[in-house]
Amino acid sequence: MKLLPILSEVIDKEMLISALKTMDFTEKEAQKELKYHINRLKNLPEIVKGYRILRVDDEKDINLEEIGSHFGENKDDLLRNHSYLTGFGEKYFIITVKIPKNEINTSETIENNILYPNEREITVKNKGKNVKIVRIEEINTENDYFF
């Protein structure tokens, strides 16, 4: 098993290449795709802005200590395209956070971006315990922009 160090973690290169090959990538294409994802993460700034949509009955129901693990990099894309919402409730909120680069779970981020390429998601460690919440805003669900 060939392991490839990246940032502060180690990823299983063979597992990720295998995942790409099951998606009909050739060995060469899979290597190139994996290299793209590794370089993209390496080139992120030290602090990354992320966005997460939650569904709760009230803003006070949001767990601020463990805000979650999955964050979109682009707010507009998340609002336009996100069909899987976390939580249950009557209201929708978008959470804006600042993610320290060392809090990114690189292996899961790369794997998720390979499996779900349209989401451009960042997966963080420890359910987001070490991200800084910048803003919480309620989403107007009457707006066609959302959904």
What is the C-alpha separation between 94 and 1, in angstroms, rounded? 40
21-63 pLDDT, tens digit per residue, is 888 989 999 999 999 999 999 999 999 999 999 989 999 999 9
Q: Compute the 3-state secondary structure of the chain and give helix, strand, coil in percent, each to the nearest 5.
A: 35, 30, 35
Q: Is 139 left (phi over 0), alpha (psi -120 to 50) or beta?
A: beta
Look at the pTM and tell me if it is higher than 0.85: no
What confidence score (pLDDT) does residue 85 get?
Answer: 58
What is the C-alpha separation between 30 and 37, in angstroms, rounded? 11
Q: Which residue has the tokens 């299983």?
A: 12
Adjacent-strand bridge partners of 84 = none
What is the C-alpha separation between 92 and 54, in angstroms, rounded? 6
Strand order in the sheet with 47-56: 121-123, 70-72, 47-56, 91-100, 132-139
Residue 82 pLDDT grade (very low, low, confident, very high; cuts 50, 70, 90): low
